[in-house]
Structure 1
Amino acid sequence: MLDAEFAMRAAFKEDYNQLLPILMPLDSILAIPVKPQLLDAVKKTSIVAEKHQNSKWVDNSYIILGKARLYLGQWADGLEALRYVYANGKDENDKNNALIVLMRAYISRKDYSNALGVAEYLSQQTLTKDATKDFYLTKAYLHQQNGEYLTSVAILEETFPLLSKSIETARLHFAAAQMYDRLGQFALANKHYKSVSKNRPDYDLGFYSSMNSLQNQVIIDPKTDVSSVGFDRMLRDRKNNDLRDRIYFTMGLLAEHRKQLPEAVKYLQKSASLASGKNNVQKAYTYLQLARIHYDALERYELAKAYYDSALTILPKDAQEYRVVSDRKLALDNFVTQLTIVKTEDSLQILSHMNPKALDDKIDNIIEELEKARIEDEKRLKSAQLAANNQINLSPGGSIPNSTDRRWELYDPAMINQGKIEFRRLWGNRVLEDDWRRSTKQITSVASRGNNPADSASNGKGLPVVAAEPVMAKGSALWQARHDNLKKKIPLTDSSFTVSQKRKEDALYNLGKIYRFDLKEPDRAVATFNRVLTEYPKTQYREEIYYLMYLTLAEEDKNRIVWKDKLTSEFPNSTYARLINKSVGSGIGDDKNRNNPVKAYESAYQLYADGNFTKALEEIEADLPAYKGSMLEDKFALLRVFLVGKVRGRESYLQAINEFVRLYPGSIYLPRLKEMQESREISVGKR
């Protein structure tokens, strides 16, 4: 058993970016390589249990048998063996030891209630020194896994005097420091990070401890001098070859703390370019940091989205941040789409107000800038190509060297995504074909390229060769075709300008909702909604914006009541006016009942199914404000439509259908509502 546990511990891969578990999880995957040892332990302990019931080692045998079964994933048998010791054991110490293992098994199954019950019983028992140590560690593990970090570190503080110097003790100090970090107690965290080095850590553990301690020191005292840390020396040290990405990551964080954002981005990009192999997960956290900087500080949302995309492709799905990052990525997908529409329509509308001569000059300047950028891109590609060719010629056998010192920019998924976004913004969705930018394709034919070896697809060594496009001359047919194509997009007529305005209005309204519900940024939501009302005083979204402004503003904000009064005075019979009066009258605010929308929906639907339509409608209209922006919002609204038809008659029913069609254009229930609307109109016509 000891050999198996030692092998499993050695095979367990630590992720120092995640919270280290105080105890190694009971993982049947880890047990696969040591299955023969575990089965041997089961076999030998079973002999004692079956043939030597009077032996003083029966209790010990059952404990080992239970642990082996748990490691093998045989939970029912493992738990039964441990419970047998507790129920029938002859030695109190053995019974307590069995309960400690049983408690750990409950934690691994996330059965925290039973684990806590065992812990309360053990706290009343007299334990040996070793059992006390194991019990404290298991109880600290329970609270750590349950997210109760303050309780967990308090128990660990009592445990450290019982531990001897070892790599496992160093690891526990690191876990304690991480929990103090999450509690915002950076000074206490650094105390434990420093204790790591005093307890014989391995190289990686000591390295990450030093990096984390340095980051905390800068948070505690932003004026800390880090010039003496010796990053250059650390980067040159061959022992750190696999950890250079983490060094650059730390340098990036320190630069960010000093508000040196360009330097921070540069260091983090360098970290991402170096991360590979066993440190590939580090790249995910580097991308997350880059995404946060570009979103919060630089407000470069398209690039932030690209970094979130890249992080999500390599971030482990069991990582604590995965769900948050996934939700953020989905929100930013829609956010960037709407923001691009607003920026594009703003720019086009500005161009539409220019006089014809100035407009033509402006378009020519845009084409000229795009041509310069294209030529510079071609030069960079050719330079990279030439450098690659030279390296191939210099390397033995002409093979491509495996170098991590310098990586081409297009190896970075975030840069690739950003390029795709920029391409679609300028050119839309294009078919993959040759000469896609040209209005006529007779200029360069396949035959004319065939005799030019420089235009071949490969240089014979596996590397693509970039064929240079001819430079467009101002006034040429190609130039004029591009000029005309760009000019077509500008809303120069009244009808096209109206369409442009409508696109911008819809996008601004959607941006406000994304800020409010997806990104949880109420101040920006309010500013965006105000912009809609300022630029479009007669917008069709007025009533909903009034309602959302009321929900978004803080209760102590004096303007909150203003938006309620505007809604009830301008739209007294609207759904939102009724909802706002219901929420005020019933005391249901922003957060009540939001914890379990599924149960709330099931409760209202059961009333509907039972024929209690009035009560069901009251519940739906009382609860709907709490679920605004949730995944079930349109489902609540659909049930409300049915109930309005049952309770308030035909006119209210038709109004509820029209409101649903307008408010939830992307709902999966929309086709059904439209069918209901059409059938209702047909039936009215027949009458």
Structure 2
Amino acid sequence: MNCIKLLHKYLVFILFPFCLGLPPAVWAQNKPQNQPLQPPPQDQTPNNRQQKPVAKPLFKPKEQQRVQDRRPPSEVMLEKKKWTWKRKFFQNLATRYNYYFHANVKLARVVKTVSRDGQDNYRILLPFYPLSLQNQGFSKGELDSVIDKASMGIQLHDPRGKWIDDCFLLMGQAYFYEGDLENANKTFQYINIAFAPKKKSEYKTVVGSNEKDQISIATKEKSKGILKYFRHTKARNDAFLWRAKTLLEQKEYDEVQALLNILNNDPNFPHRLDGGLAEVRAYGNYIQGRYAETIEPLKVAIDKSHNRVAKARMAYILGQLYVQQQHADSALEQFRTVISLKPDPMMDFQARLQIAITNAQANGGLEKSLVGLHHMLKKERFLRFRDGILYTMGTLQYPKDPEAALNYMQQSLKVPSNNLIQRTLTYKGIADIYYDQRKYLDAKKYYDSTAGVMTADFADAKIVHTRKEVLTSVAAKLEIIRREDSLQRIAAMPASDRNIFLSKMAATIKNEAAEKKKKDALAAANPIGNPAFSMNGGAYSPKDEKGDWYFYNPGSKSSGYSEFKRRWGNRQPGDNWRRSQNGVVNATNSNAPIEMLDAPKEATAETIAPDSVTAEKLAVGLPLTPEKMTSSINKAMDAWFDLGKLYHDKLDNYPLAIETYDSLLIVYPAHPRKAEVLYSLYIWHGKQNHTAAANRYKDMVLNQYGNTNFADIIRSGGLKDINGEKKKEISAAYDSAYTAFRNGDYAGALAQKKMADSTFGFNFLRPRFDLLEAMIIVKTDTLFATDTMQLSRKAVQAVITKYAADEAIRTQAQALLDALNHRGELTDYLAKLEVRKRDAKGVLLDEDVSMRYPWQNPQPVLADKINVAKAHVDSAKIAAGIVAPTPAPIVPVKPVTPYKLTTNNPFFVVLSFQRVSKELMDEGLNQFTRYNAAKHANDKIEVGSFVLTPNDVMLIFRLFPNEDKALAYFDEIRDEASANIIPRIRPTEYSFFVISRDNFILLNSTKDLSGYRKFFVDNYVTQ
């Protein structure tokens, strides 16, 4: 009984101060010796207060404590609380189960739920981890919750607890998965320093020590006895590996290698992390592409890993590396290991496929592999992978049997599946087969489908996009060649034979249209016979529905989504997306000309309805006149030439490019660009090491086209050997000659040009020097004699002939030649024309205005811009009847303009260029696009180029709901254009105006740009 009373008294003494919030030491210090607890003294008078000191209050008010000490509880506890065994127990217990446990469970759930769900491309080397920081799909809110919970556990509990470093480790891991690598690295680095081992007699951090001639940075863990399985492990050692992973993501490979080398030789680094150390080493080599060095550490990581999922993935990657190193037996062993680990169904299936592929390719067991795959098709467990099995069978058949390969892959596409990676591979596999067979029209269709369903991180995305774009142009050129060749052959027939041929063709087209109409009607009347409802894998197959409604069946929904994406791509949802575009300018693609959707299209043979086709209608497009035949031949020749360039420049297919140009020379031996064709064949055969063929074409260029630019390049050995310093000297020489020409020193400019020719020979600016010489000859030609004019024309024509392949030089020279050919007309035109420029308010300016010559744009000259000189007539002669009186001038009637002012109509703002180079136009388009994105992001203003006539090119800004919005934008960009948006283009070379949609359609029909400009000035500028 006395023992119980004593124990009760002891517990009261211990627990009472805890209830008051004070440690036992403070309680013992303030408790009076051998006296009971007294209440605080009462208030005293001032006199008494002087005589008797007031006792200091034992407790402070809570508000005063909160104001005076704002430190987190962890710091307060570290300073004021003793680290007793009881405190250690309760603090560790609360930190572990109240905060660390919940944060750790949430982080594990977040990482586990983020997986690729079978969307990996197993035909290439797998990513080392089933997630990536670039496209991870983690929930940032969940990871932030992990960080907050771990941070609260650190701040609310004693920092001497053994679970504090684990909370810091969770914070670093959450930062890592968020992609915040900088904070993750700082967190792991803090763990390595702050929780380093410390001696008992000092509080200094020991970063490293020397033990047995080996550097040690790890924390030693007790590993003896059975208690080692129940001891708490140090998170600091784990932080070293996590920091190495973070540095790898930051591409700090050298620092990671140094850290791993130290840890590998560290005597204190625990053996429990040997597998993790090997995994990080393998991962570092893997992402750097050092696959041969990845194999050994990866084997160690697999052997020591306790995570079955991670172990299966690493074994699969090791098998892939063995296949790459051509170690078939080792690869088969690893894939069998993957199967034995019972991974997820997708990896199990892919491992079995890899076994079949490896056996077929390395061991010559193609037939055995096909039999095994056929057996897998019949098993119900592989039913969801039938598309992958059929695709694999197709890849094994190619290139031995292309038709069988295509058949298997086409069957694969018919299988409903939500695996977009597999569908992407199948589409690309079919496209590659057609591409290898040079069936580019078919290949283009399947590359389009591939681009529609593939993800952004697809391994061959760049190849797909390149071939898709190039094959679009290739298909167009091939179609032109095929069509024009057919039209020319039909036109070359005798009239009677041609009529019979066209009549038979019309009858065939009608019959085929009738048969198709019958089939469509039968399919609509009989849904069971419709492929969409068939048992062969249609989207609505009764076998796949299993009694569920379509939107309740995941397989049907995924199949429908994949089919929609294959046909229409990543289309944004919108109401009436096709009809909503009617009647407006389609400028969504800024690189393409704007298309007038409401503009009437000319009827051609291709647009004839099948049921109304006749021989006469088919003959509409035939080149039966010399002009049409010449046009058809020119189209075919240009298509052949462009096709060879596409094969070489875009597809890097030298044999096919050579074959195309050889065919071109056979079909069109007098091609206008034959010199360039021969030079291209000389270069391409040289790259293919066809020395004899290259020399043959070289001699043809030098002998037949010795005065061309291509012959000069061959004689000079090309321009690739010119160094940077020499290029600067040549550029300075040209700038000096051109400056002299601009200043009117034509003799000095010509002398500098001759000196550059003798000093530098043939150089990269030789075309410009030659054009400058021709311009000097034209400028010095002040007479109108026939022989002098002939000399100018010859100089310019020589530049055009010599540099036919240089588009910029040829265009400038051709414009100069056009001016020379109309020199008399130009002189008369300039003598009668006074051109003055007005600003936006109608005030005349003194600046020159670039104009259109009458032969370039034969528009009627406005009456108010012509000052006709009137002769003075003697009145006496008029009275004598010698001279008839001059009739009074007739005031011209103002023409009736077709343009009208409208209010309820969408508007465009137009920027019209005047003789501006294509490069500056494209630059202006890009600059306005950036300006609209920055200043009018919410207005969604689109800008695109539009070619009204060959000489009138403009930018269209659309779409403004009313006139006021368009005029406000017009006033804004008119002021901003010259100063900030397009400063490289002079204000005299462009003009702005506003136009309604109806007026724009009229303008597109009449091509009367000057008429609308006058309408705009009269109705808008003068207001």
Q: Output the TM-score relative to the length of structure 2.
A: 0.50
Structure 1 partner of 2:697: 563
- C-alpha distance in structure 2 between counterparts of 1:269 and 1:281, whole Å: 16
- C-alpha distance in structure 2 between counterparts of 1:315 and 1:611, whole Å: 51
Aligned partners of 2:393 and 2:408 also within 8 Å: yes
- Is 1:152 aligned to 2:294, yes or no? yes
Structure 2 counterparts to residues 623-634 of structure 1, below 5 A: none
Give the 3-state SS of the residue equivalent to 1:78 in structure 2.
helix
Distance 1:311 1:664, change over 3 A: farther
Deviations 1:346-398 (A, max 9, x none): 22222233222322222223223323332332233233223327979x99999
- Is 1:171 aligned to 2:313, yes or no? yes
Over the matched positions of the two proteins, sequence identity in percent amounts to 19
Aligned partners of 1:31 and 1:72 also within 8 Å: no
Aligned partners of 2:275 and 2:300 also within 8 Å: no
- C-alpha distance in structure 1 between counterparts of 2:606 and 2:184, whole Å: 74
- C-alpha distance in structure 2 between counterparts of 1:531 and 1:320, whole Å: 36
Instruction: Note the C-alpha offset of 1:546.
Output: 2.5
Instruction: Note the C-alpha offset of 1:235.
Output: 3.5
More helix by share: 1
Structure 1 partner of 2:182: 76
Structure 1 partner of 2:260: 122
Instruction: Note the C-alpha offset of 1:122.
Output: 1.5
Return 520-529 or 376-385, whichever deviates more: 376-385
Distance 1:679 1:529, change over 3 A: closer
- Is 1:208 aligned to 2:340, yes or no? no
Aligned partners of 1:308 and 1:325 also within 8 Å: yes
- C-alpha distance in structure 2 between counterparts of 1:415 and 1:33, whole Å: 32
Instruction: Note the C-alpha offset of 1:516.
Output: 0.8
Instruction: Note the C-alpha offset of 1:555.
Output: 5.6
Aligned partners of 1:274 and 1:404 also within 8 Å: no
Give the 3-state SS of the residue equivalent to 2:669 in structure 1.
coil
Structure 2 partner of 1:383: 522
- C-alpha distance in structure 2 between counterparts of 1:503 and 1:282, whole Å: 41
Structure 1 partner of 2:422: 282
Deviations 1:582-613 (A, max 9, x none): 5558669xxxxxxxxxxx9xx89995999476
Aligned partners of 1:331 and 1:514 also within 8 Å: yes
Instruction: Note the C-alpha offset of 1:217.
Output: 2.1
Instruction: Note the C-alpha offset of 1:60.
Output: 5.0
- C-alpha distance in structure 2 between counterparts of 1:182 and 1:571, whole Å: 52
Distance 1:501 1:676, change over 3 A: closer
Give RMSD over aligned pairs: 4.7
Instruction: Note the C-alpha offset of 1:289.
Output: 0.6
Structure 2 counterparts to residues 457-496 of structure 1, below 5 A: 478-479=612-613, 482-496=614-628
Instruction: Note the C-alpha offset of 1:156.
Output: 2.3
Query: Which of 653, 673, 698 is 1:521 aligned to?
Result: 653
- C-alpha distance in structure 1 between counterparts of 2:389 and 2:316, whole Å: 18
Distance 1:648 1:571, change over 3 A: same
Distance 1:439 1:32, change over 3 A: closer
Aligned partners of 1:272 and 1:286 also within 8 Å: yes
- C-alpha distance in structure 1 between counterparts of 2:121 and 2:396, whole Å: 17
- C-alpha distance in structure 1 between counterparts of 2:281 and 2:768, whole Å: 56
Letter in 1 for 2:256: V
- C-alpha distance in structure 1 between counterparts of 2:161 and 2:688, whole Å: 71
Aligned partners of 1:22 and 1:140 also within 8 Å: no
- C-alpha distance in structure 1 between counterparts of 2:494 and 2:565, whole Å: 42
Letter in 2 for 1:320: A
Give the 3-state SS of the residue equivalent to 1:317 in structure 2.
coil
Distance 1:675 1:493, change over 3 A: closer
Structure 2 partner of 1:354: 493
Query: Which of 20, 24, 31 is 2:126 aligned to?
Result: 20
- C-alpha distance in structure 1 between counterparts of 2:180 and 2:482, whole Å: 59
Count of residue correspondences:
589
Return 169-178 or 499-508, whichever deviates more: 169-178
Distance 1:605 1:9, change over 3 A: farther
- C-alpha distance in structure 2 between counterparts of 1:581 and 1:186, whole Å: 54
Structure 2 partner of 1:621: none
- C-alpha distance in structure 2 between counterparts of 1:241 and 1:342, whole Å: 46
Distance 1:69 1:430, change over 3 A: closer
Distance 1:658 1:155, change over 3 A: farther
Instruction: Note the C-alpha offset of 1:412.
Output: 8.7
Structure 1 partner of 2:640: 508
Deviations 1:65-118 (A, max 9, x none): 32222223333221222233455652523666434323322433xx43x12431
Give the 3-state SS of the residue equivalent to 1:123 in structure 2.
helix
Distance 1:99 1:371, change over 3 A: farther
Structure 2 counterparts to residues 575-614 of structure 1, below 5 A: 575-581=709-715, 607=728, 611=732
More strand by share: 2
- C-alpha distance in structure 1 between counterparts of 2:656 and 2:622, whole Å: 29
- C-alpha distance in structure 2 between counterparts of 1:150 and 1:656, whole Å: 61
Aligned partners of 2:395 and 2:405 also within 8 Å: yes
Letter in 2 for 1:273: K
- C-alpha distance in structure 2 between counterparts of 1:12 and 1:270, whole Å: 29
Return 263-272 or 519-528, whichever deviates more: 263-272
Aligned partners of 2:120 and 2:421 also within 8 Å: no
- Is 1:293 aligned to 2:433, yes or no? yes
Aligned partners of 2:114 and 2:137 also within 8 Å: no
Return 307-316 or 160-169, whichever deviates more: 160-169
Aligned partners of 1:661 and 1:674 also within 8 Å: no
Structure of larger gyration radius? 2
Return 648-657 or 169-178, whichever deviates more: 648-657
- Is 1:11 aligned to 2:114, yes or no? yes
Structure 2 partner of 1:140: 282
Structure 2 counterparts to residues 25-64 of structure 1, below 5 A: 25=131, 27=133, 30=136, 32-33=138-139, 35-36=141-142, 39-41=145-147, 43-44=149-150, 48=154, 61-64=167-170
- C-alpha distance in structure 2 between counterparts of 1:193 and 1:439, whole Å: 56
Return 7-16 or 677-686, whichever deviates more: 677-686
Distance 1:217 1:523, change over 3 A: same
Structure 2 partner of 1:650: 773
Aligned partners of 1:218 and 1:224 also within 8 Å: yes
Distance 1:217 1:41, change over 3 A: same
Aligned partners of 1:193 and 1:209 also within 8 Å: yes
Return 144-153 or 28-37, whichever deviates more: 28-37
Structure 2 counterparts to residues 241-320 of structure 1, below 5 A: 241-259=383-401, 261-277=402-418, 279-297=419-437, 299-320=438-459
Structure 1 partner of 2:243: 102
- C-alpha distance in structure 2 between counterparts of 1:25 and 1:415, whole Å: 30
Aligned partners of 2:488 and 2:623 also within 8 Å: yes
Aligned partners of 1:275 and 1:282 also within 8 Å: no
Deviations 1:503-549 (A, max 9, x none): 11111111111111211111111111111122222222222223322
Give the 3-state SS of the residue equivalent to 1:294 in structure 2.
helix
- C-alpha distance in structure 1 between counterparts of 2:120 and 2:629, whole Å: 55
Aligned partners of 2:151 and 2:167 also within 8 Å: yes
Aligned partners of 1:85 and 1:98 also within 8 Å: yes
Instruction: Note the C-alpha offset of 1:211.
Output: 1.5
Letter in 2 for 1:286: T
Structure 2 partner of 1:448: none
Letter in 1 for 2:684: T
Aligned partners of 1:284 and 1:314 also within 8 Å: yes
Q: Which runs of 5+ in 2 are unaligned?
A: 1-102, 198-216, 220-235, 534-539, 570-595, 737-762, 777-795, 828-1023
Give the 3-state SS of the residue equivalent to 1:205 in structure 2.
helix
Letter in 1 for 2:187: A
- C-alpha distance in structure 2 between counterparts of 1:131 and 1:547, whole Å: 65
Deviations 1:238-267 (A, max 9, x none): 4333222112212322333541x3332222
Structure 1 partner of 2:900: none
